[in-house]
A = this chain, B = another copy of it.
Amino acid sequence: MSTASRVLAGSSHPISAKTRAKVIATAEKLGYSPSALARALVSRSSRLIGVLVSDIVNPYFSVIARGIDDVASRAGYVTMLSNVDRRTSTEISRLQTMRDYRAAGVIIAGSGLDADPLAADLAKAVRQAKEQGIQAVSLATRDIDCPVVTADNERAAHDITDHLVSLGHRRIAFIEGPAGMTTSRQRRDGFLACMNAAKLGDLAQCLPGGFDFEAGHLAAMRLIARPPLPDAILAANDETAVGALNALRQANIDVPGEISVAGMNDLRVAQFVGLTTVSLPLYEMGAMAAQHVIDNRPGEATTTFLSHRVIPRETTTRRT
């Protein structure tokens, strides 16, 4: 038994070539597959990585998940995925499940809420997981005591706003993300900071929105309903921007002729419609978080910001 184990697990223990061959041949013949469960049990460490996303259908998260899985499977790890629909309670319960499976680590991809009554419970669940040797990594700024690998949402919003300003736009409207979300606030803050710095604070306008197509469509309709139109619209999100774009085009308003439109994230849809946006390092965030778990790095609660960059496309132009 131990000999077979040694051969199959690739131990460094010396084994005669003959015996080794025999073990391998027999395993093959029997269709034997070592139980990763039993292995994890005895070795006290699984090769499971838990991933908590809001919704895998949202390309923001599927790109992150892809980054995680690429690194994970290259290292022989398996990704356990769970959708939590932005509900902290679900997040806690799924985290618990990942803990039951003794995941090597859990990557929490979604943003939190600014005033979340359950934040403390989540923090506690993470602490308990950590006490059990399960690493936690967050992909957004949250009240969790764990390393964070993220994009600088505020600066990204600042930079894309700055791009619009540099194009000569002065009256700029910002369609916000979902109310209460930390990421929403960060992006709005970045927008406002840039506008204020450019002495354009008075010409800045914020509209409630959301991260989806419909929210952008609706917000743009409201803008159209009470002229004059701003010089440019920045949406919290590519999808939101596309919704706005749609409303504008339906109203026969020329983009970028009459108004410029920009988004954030640089997901596939942004390329489709030629949307000016700022590219966030989503894939890299996932990849780096997974690497962090695999390397079993000491879990100091440091924040790593990965870099973004402005991508000018056809929905923006210079205003003279």
Contact = CB atoms under 8 A, between A and B. Distances in A.
A79 B81 CA distance: 6
B79 A78 contact: no
Interface in A31-54: 31, 33-38, 40-41, 46, 48
B101 A83 contact: no
Interface majority SS (helix, strand, loop, mixed), chain A: helix
A56 B56 CA distance: 8
Contacts of A213: 268, 271-272
A296 interface: no
A69 interface: yes
A66 B73 contact: no
* Copies of the chain in the assembly: 2
A261 interface: no
A57 interface: yes
Contacts of A36: 97, 100-102
B33 A41 contact: no
B100 A83 contact: no
A279 to B, nearest CB: 15
Contacts of A268: 57, 213
20 contacts: A31-B128, A31-B132, A35-B41, A35-B102, A36-B101, A37-B101, A48-B80, A57-B59, A57-B62, A57-B268, A59-B62, A62-B62, A69-B82, A69-B83, A70-B83, A78-B98, A80-B81, A213-B271, A242-B272, A246-B272
- List the 5 shortest-distance A-B pairs measured between CB atoms, nearest first: A36-B100, A31-B128, A81-B81, A36-B101, A57-B62
